[in-house]
Chain A
Amino acid sequence: MNAATFSALAEPNRVNILELLRDIGELTVGEIAQRLELRMPQSSKHLHVLAKAGLVNVKADANRRIYSIRQEPFEEMDQWFESFIRDKEEQFNRFEELLMKKQTNENRNE
């Protein structure tokens, strides 16, 4: 986990851009600006920060630049958040296994 990721995320417009890209897939700067009612230079600036933090991919298509989500940092974040409750999660997983075992036995005895 990289603290720069959080720094890049700490801006509401950038969060909106990421959610838009997540839902739609690929978009150009113009399309993003239009959908979020932002000015083009403002959108470009935010996309530049997101690209620098490795949160989005940029693909050149003729003279357009197409943006999409880069999955890896989000997977890392997910694992990082999970590491906070690792022990409890492991305990509940074991408890669940036991419940499943008991439930199977009960059904067999019926």
Chain B
Amino acid sequence: MSKTKIVAEKGAQNVVISREFNSPRELVFNTYTDPTTVPEWWGPKRYKTTVDRMDVKKGGIWRFIHRDVEGNEYAFNGVYHEVNSPERIINTFEVEGYPEFIGLVTINLEKMPGGKTKFIENTVYQSVEGRDGMIKAGMSEGAIELLDRLEELLDSIQNV
């Protein structure tokens, strides 16, 4: 079973992604905001991540670059709106070249018993279509095809 939970209600503009970590909140916060370790974890492993800018404070800019095996580059950037150690970070998230998909990300770190931390990321996009596009971008091709087929099936059941 996947440890990451994703909730994207139909017709809404936001996505909530959550995950529990077996580490205290301070460590999660410090690791999350440490530019030197970002290349070790940010994004999927098949991309090489470099940190172009990461100024973790209100008004500070972050910009990360993904490089795939063919040498194609994809850049992501945003501005920090709130940095409140160790509980909250609010920032924008933009895939360069797709400004219509910009999202406002609120990350809350909740202290859990036993030195655990619940990481909750709520991203609000500018439109439902923009949100759905971003979710699809994170899926495998096979999953998208199956989702389309499922949608067709549900439509056909409802129209009976």
The chain A residues found within 8 Å of chain B, CB to CB, are 1, 3, 6-7, 10, 78, 80-100, 102-103, 106
Contact = CB atoms under 8 A, between A and B. Distances in A.
Interface of A is mostly: helix
Interface residues of B, number: 35
Contacts of B42: 91
B142 interface: yes
A94 B41 contact: yes
Interface string B34-52: 0001001111110000000
A84 B43 contact: no
Given A98-B31, A102-B31, A85 B146 contact: no
19 contacts: A3-B153, A6-B150, A7-B157, A84-B138, A84-B147, A85-B17, A86-B138, A87-B44, A88-B6, A88-B138, A90-B45, A92-B3, A92-B4, A92-B19, A93-B3, A95-B21, A98-B41, A99-B22, A99-B28
Given A94-B45, A103-B27, A85 B40 contact: no
B159 interface: no
B12 interface: no
The 10 closest A-B pairs by CB, nearest first: A94-B41, A83-B143, A95-B41, A99-B23, A82-B2, A90-B44, A89-B4, A3-B153, A87-B44, A83-B140
Interface of B is mostly: mixed
A83 B141 CA distance: 9
Contact of A96 (B21, B37, B147, B150): B21
Contact of A1 (B19, B40, B146): B146
Most A C-beta atoms less than 10 A away, residue of B2, B21, B31, B43? B2
